[in-house]
Amino acid sequence: MTGPPPIEVRGLRKVFRQTTTGQSVVAIDRLDLAIAPREVVAIVGQTGCGKSTFFDLMIGLEAPSEGLIHIGDKSPHADFDLFRGRIATVFQQDRLLPWRSALDNARLPLELIGLPEKEQRERALTWLNRLGLGQFTNAYPHELSGGMRQRVAIARAFAVEPDILLADEAFGHLDEVTAAELRDTFLKLARECGSTAILITHQLEEAIGVGDRIVVFGKSAKLLADIHVADWPKSKYRLLREAIQSTLQSNRPDPRLTQAANARSSPRKRGPGKKGSTSGR
């Protein structure tokens, strides 16, 4: 098994032109980031900081204005079709097709990659069962609760057994108990699958609870902090939370985060821009 390829983001810039005013808006300004295979990275940032633009660039639906995103040595935008079945997404809303049953929704990406129908069915059923929806495979989305629908969306993403899983505020709209439960399931399955997972969130608890790393975006996706959660003992999670919050509020790295990053990089003689490590938790 080869495993997922590393992700490299270098000098990434994305500029949009506003249709009404014609003015240019810099959504992402010179972002450098490296993500190692199988890493679980949470990206946090305030609303409008460029998280969703980064998400679209990672999927390959948008082209960078400058710089590059490479997955392995390929671009998710320029080599769009090469990534069919290798990148899967879970969105904030479930985005299930209302005319398809849970089973048919879960097997949608398998149809797109052209698997034989029997295999599509078996794989979709397996994932629905793993997500506790074995009794609801024939139910239509409107017959399911919000949490169940999101489970179907997760099953749909995992069904292709992707190299890279992207989740954009995937649990933010659910109640706290359901969200926590789904987060755990998502994380467990991502680790079992050996996928690289990138979760975009504005909830710090979620980021700390899920990610191997937390990447903090400031305005225009400026990289304010790159935190390896393993460096922080559980007893200091509250401190970590405060430091991230202060970073987001001031749009400047909090000294507590800088100290932790320095302490990490010194003994290992890492360069300041080198962030692509895996960290077991």
Partner 1 sequence: MPHEELRESVPVLTFPRQTLVSLLVFAIVWETLSHLAPYLGIPPFAIPSFVRIARSFTTITPIDIAVTLARVIAALLVSFVLGLALAMAMYRSDSLDKYLHPMIRLLMAVPVVSWILFAVLWFPGVEFRIGFVLVVVCGPVFLIDTLDAMRGVPRDLRHMMQSFRPTTWQFFLKLMLPAIVPTIFTSWKVNISLAIRVVTIAELVGAVTGIGHQLSVAQELFSVADVFAWTLVLVALLFLLEAMVARAEARVLRWRA
144 vs 208, beta carbon nearer partner 1 = 144
61 vs 263, beta carbon nearer partner 1 = 61
Annotate the chain with three-state secondary structure.
Answer: CCCCCCEEEEEEEEEEECCCCCCEEEEEEEEEEEECCCCEEEEEECCCCCHHHHHHHHHCCCCCCEEEEEECCECCCCCHHHHCCCEEEECCCCCCCCCCCHHHHHCHHHHHCCCCHHHHHHHHHHHHHHCCCHHHCCCCHHHCCHHHHHHHHHHHHHHCCCCEEEEECCCCCCCHHHHHHHHHHHHHHHHHHCCEEEEEECCHHHHHHHCCEEEEECHHHCEEEEEEHHHCCHHHHHHHHHHHHHHHHHCCCCHHHHHHHHHHHHHHCCCCCCCCCCCCC
163 vs 254, beta carbon nearer partner 1 = 163
Tell me how far, at minimum, the Cβ of 109 lies from partner 1, in Å: 5
98 vs 280, beta carbon nearer partner 1 = 98
Tell me how far, at minimum, the Cβ of 108 lies from partner 1, in Å: 7
Tell me how far, at minimum, the Cβ of 52 lies from partner 1, in Å: 11
Name the β-bridge partners of 214: 42, 227
Footprint of partner 1 (CB under 8 A): 59-61, 80-81, 83-85, 87-89, 91, 93, 95, 97-100, 108-109, 111-112, 140, 142-143, 160
Residues 93 and 174: their CA atoms lie apart, in Å, by: 10
Tell me how far, at minimum, the Cβ of 85 lies from partner 1, in Å: 8
**C-alpha torsion 32→38→160→8, nearest 10:** 20
Tell me how far, at minimum, the Cβ of 84 lies from partner 1, in Å: 4
66 vs 143, beta carbon nearer partner 1 = 143
Tell me how far, at minimum, the Cβ of 47 lies from partner 1, in Å: 18
73 vs 81, beta carbon nearer partner 1 = 81
52 vs 246, beta carbon nearer partner 1 = 52
Tell me how far, at minimum, the Cβ of 224 lies from partner 1, in Å: 27
